[in-house]
Amino acid sequence: MTEDLTRRINQAISNQEAQAERLANSGRIILLSIITFLALVNIQSVSFEANVMNFSVLALGYSYGLIVYIRMRHFGYHPFMKYFTSCLDVILVFLLLFLYTRIEIPAVALKNYVFVILYPLIGLTAFRYDKNLTWIAGGLTVILYIALVCYLYFLNAIELTSGGYERELFTREVTYIGQATKLILLIGFIALIGYLAQYSRRLIIKLVRDESTIRQEQEQIQAELQVASHVQQQFVPRSFPTISGLDLYGIVEQGKFVGGDYCDLIELAHDRVLIVVADVSGNGVPAALIMAEVRASVHLLAQTEIGLEQLVERLNILLFESTQKKNFVTFFVAEIDTTKQIISYVNAGHPSPLIHTDGEIRSLKKGTIPLGVRSILPNMTKQVEEFRIGSTIVSYTDGLLEQFNSQEEQYGEQRLCEFFQSNVHLDARTFVQHLLEQVKDFSKGKVLDDDVGLVVVKFLN
């Protein structure tokens, strides 16, 4: 157990003990008030001496409760208080019982209902999470009761007999079986409360340990997310290729859960540019590391001038062999050729990008499964579309469409298409900024649930 954990456990137990002490003192005052009311109701039915004894002990109880209240309020709680107050509660009860021995029938001290008050007083020690306190208060109770019996016996104030319960209950005699039963019940109750106190202490230690573990895990996760965020930020394009006729912009907007979103714009020639948008399953450091591997591989393969199919196939084999099967990457790669005015692409399980041409929007749906799932990609074929002057392509990760509002509605492709149609005249950078603003407004300004990767390319002239 570490020093910090030990300190937290001790602090938690101390806080609980202080709260229990305050509750016990409130309960003490309430109990005294109830007894005072009963004493006032029965004031005519008991002797003057009994009334003096009752109200004297009640006065001591009120004074003692007031002292505890002032001590707690002005000086706080001290661990010794639990021993002092628990034992003093027991002593006050026995003080009253010993005073009852001074009246005309001393045996009433062993049969008075006041003895029952001892049970809740001992029961309260369980809330201090200290079995030693229970044994001390309970042991004091047993010792004082035996002392009371012995005191009355040696004064010849009682007669111990071997009769049954009827003699114990309805005569002045005190039976062995009655007193032995009372002590056995009392000792059994003390043992039970001692066990509950020990169990409660183990429980609160477990709760504090679990809370500490959860806090450490949260701190570790937060540290991992910060590392993942830093890694991700290093791979977000800070500058974009200069391709005649093209207006380009890309960004990864981080959300609440840092993931493996990746976007890139790579110049292949003066009239050709490669668009890459990918999303690694999961989040945190593992996703960021896989995303770093994807980016490095894409840049390396792009320099070899291989075709899109070969690029995707090699990247798939790399991920299939180097990552766990639960990890996969949705991947979209496209090449825009401004001379031929075409766009060639391969979509591996990625959300369908949108192209706006001649006032119409179409999606690039044809494709294959995500990368890293299987060693061979089924139906993996390069697709070719026209990309004439005036065309615009928007590629994005699923965090854009899956952003929720307060009604648990997703932003969705329909809203994206409507925004696209209304804002296609904007330049690429402004288009992206306004789209992200609308998505955040849709979610009432809350942090994005997931990362959002966006790439916009416009063919101006």
Q: Write down all domains in the chain, each with its CATH number in brackets.
A: 3-214 (no CATH), 235-278+330-369+378-459 (3.60.40.10)
367, 412 contact by CB (below 8 A): no
- Strand arrangement of the beta sheet that strand 259-269 belongs to: 259-269, 272-283, 329-337, 342-348, 383-386
What pLDDT, on a 0 to 100 scale, did the predictor assign at position 345?
96
What pLDDT, on a 0 to 100 scale, did the predictor assign at position 19?
80
3-state secondary structure of 272: strand
Amino acid at 189: F
CA distances from residue 191 to 145, 147, 187, 195, 387 in whole angstroms, order as listed:
17, 21, 6, 6, 85
What pLDDT, on a 0 to 100 scale, did the predictor assign at position 414?
92
What pLDDT, on a 0 to 100 scale, did the predictor assign at position 170?
59
Q: How far is CA 445 from the centre of its chain?
A: 24
Where the chain has pLDDT below 70, the residues are 1-3, 5, 104, 164-172, 224-225, 227-236, 256-259, 445, 461
What pLDDT, on a 0 to 100 scale, did the predictor assign at position 166?
64
> Residue 2 and residue 10: Cα distance in Å, rounded?
12
Q: How far is CA 329 from the centre of its chain?
A: 30
Residues in the chain, total: 461
What pLDDT, on a 0 to 100 scale, did the predictor assign at position 229?
66
> Residue 21 and residue 124: Cα distance in Å, rounded?
9
3-state secondary structure of 265: strand
What pLDDT, on a 0 to 100 scale, did the predictor assign at position 188?
94
What pLDDT, on a 0 to 100 scale, did the predictor assign at position 59?
87
> Residue 75 and residue 21: Cα distance in Å, rounded?
13
> Residue 235 and residue 121: Cα distance in Å, rounded?
67
What pLDDT, on a 0 to 100 scale, did the predictor assign at position 407?
83
Q: In 10 A of CB 410, how many CB atoms?
A: 15
109, 101 contact by CB (below 8 A): yes
H-run or E-run covering 59: helix 48-75
